[in-house]
Amino acid sequence: MNTSKSIIITLAAAGLFWAGCSSSEAPKEPGKKAVAPVAPAVPTTFKLTKGSLHTELKVPSELTAYRAVDIYAKVNSYVKSLTVDVGSEVKKGQVLATLEAPELVQQLAAAQSKYKAQQAIYEQSNATYERVLDASKTPGTISKNDVDIASAKRNSDLAQMEAAKADYEATSTIAQYLVIRAPFDGVISVRNVNLGAYIGPAGKGSELPIFTLQEQTHLRLVIEVPEAYKSFIKLNDMVKFTVKAFPDQVFSAKIARRAGVMDKTLRSEHIELDVTNNDGKLSPGMVAEAVIGLDAGANAFVVPKFAVVNSTEGVFMIEDSANIAKRVPVRLGRLTDSLAEVFGNGLKESASYLTKGSEEIKNGASVSQ
């Protein structure tokens, strides 16, 4: 019995010992500190102010000749000589080709002969009138009726002479069309005829122009600007552009002309820039990429990009109104990597708005939570 009681007492003591060991704190690992609980981040805010936002619009564009013309023959004729070819640089008034038209030469000779004949008839009738007029000054020699007849004959011959002269000058002008001259300085880009070819203003031989002349030292850069960016475009604004032929070189020019109306098909405004091309690097027909700087001045609210929430419930920003969230509907304008242009009647200048909005923040929620 005594032995049994001793065993029971020993086991009970051991149980109490182990229970005391398990209830004590485990020893901390040396060199480590206890980690304090992290407080939830307080949302950051910013004051709403107006500012200017600089963005760039990249649009495809095209280089064209400042002046270009298709040159046709004005009379039915044959090509007698060609003095230029494709690639020829010509000056204003330079002879490009001469034509021949035997029928026109005969018409000119006939018109000239008729004019000279009528001139002689007029000179004779005018002399007769002068003699009759002088004789009529002596009373009883020439009747007044004879003077009137001589005057009428002279006036009739004068009118016929003037008509013959006009016909001769018109034929002479047409004959000048047999010499084709350059209307301005430029480069011949197309030649469609050869020596001896029949050409004319209508019918066979007039389907294609004799030459196409383009001014290439002065070009136009043609750009179609979308309607949304019309208000940012101003005359004399500098525009940069690049072409595929010289990808590492940036060219620039100023806006010289703008249509002022929207194209009904593209809903864009046609603008043109004058490009100086004295070195001949650029060519008409090149496709360019134009970069237009868009600056509207400090007349819009500019905010951090992530302050604007675009959700299924709409586009809005969150105002911090005494630590209470208030959703304010906005309209987005231009965007950059970090900023956004916003508009809205509910926006208040100098009010506080969340720098990073979220659709999880509802109206009336505490902003500090």
pLDDT band at 90 (very low <50, low <70, confident <90, very high): very high
Task: Tell me if 307 is assigned to some domain.
Answer: no
Task: Tell me if 339 is assigned to some domain.
Answer: no
Instruction: For residues 34-48, give the mean pLDDT.
Output: 65
Instruction: For residues 275-288, give the mean pLDDT.
Output: 94
The three-state (H, E, C) secondary structure of 198-240, written as one string: EECCCCCCCCCCCEEEECCCEEEEEEEEEHHHHHHCCCCCEEE
Instruction: For residues 3-17, give the mean pLDDT.
Output: 45
Task: Tell me if 73 is assigned to some domain.
Answer: no
Task: Tell me if 92 is assigned to some domain.
Answer: no
Q: What is the pLDDT of residue 18?
A: 41
Contacts of 120 (CB under 8 A, 6+ apart): none
CATH classification of the domain holding 108: 1.10.287
Structure tokens at 331: 């309209």
Task: Tell me if 293 is assigned to some domain.
Answer: no
Instruction: For residues 163-172, give the mean pLDDT.
Output: 88
Cα–Cα distance, 65 to 69 (Å, whole number): 10
Is residue 10 pLDDT above 60, yes or no? no
Q: What is the pLDDT of residue 241?
A: 97
Residue 183 CB burial class (10 angstroms; 0-12, 13-18, ≥19): middle
Global pTM reads: 0.64
Domain of 149 in residue numbering reads as: 102-177
Instruction: For residues 153-157, give the mean pLDDT.
Output: 92
Contacts of 199 (CB under 8 A, 6+ apart): 72, 73, 76, 77, 78, 79, 99, 193, 205, 206, 210
Between these two residues, 23 and 342, which has the higher pLDDT value?
342
Instruction: For residues 80-91, give the mean pLDDT.
Output: 95
Q: Is 199 in contact with 178 (CB distance < 8 Å)?
A: no
pLDDT band at 316 (very low <50, low <70, confident <90, very high): very high
Task: Tell me if 109 is assigned to some domain.
Answer: yes
| DSSP 8-state class, residue 322 | T
Is residue 3 pLDDT above 70, yes or no? no
Task: Tell me if 286 is assigned to some domain.
Answer: no
State how many domains the chain has: 1
Q: Is 184 in contact with 215 (CB distance < 8 Å)?
A: yes
Phi, psi of 21 (to 5 degrees): -65, -40
Bridge partners (DSSP) listed for residue 111: none
Task: Tell me if 168 is assigned to some domain.
Answer: yes
Instruction: For residues 154-167, give the mean pLDDT.
Output: 92
What value does the mean pLDDT of the chain take?
85
Tell me the per-residue pLDDT of 49-79, one tens digit each, with 9 for 90 and over.
Answer: 988 888 889 999 999 999 999 999 988 889 9
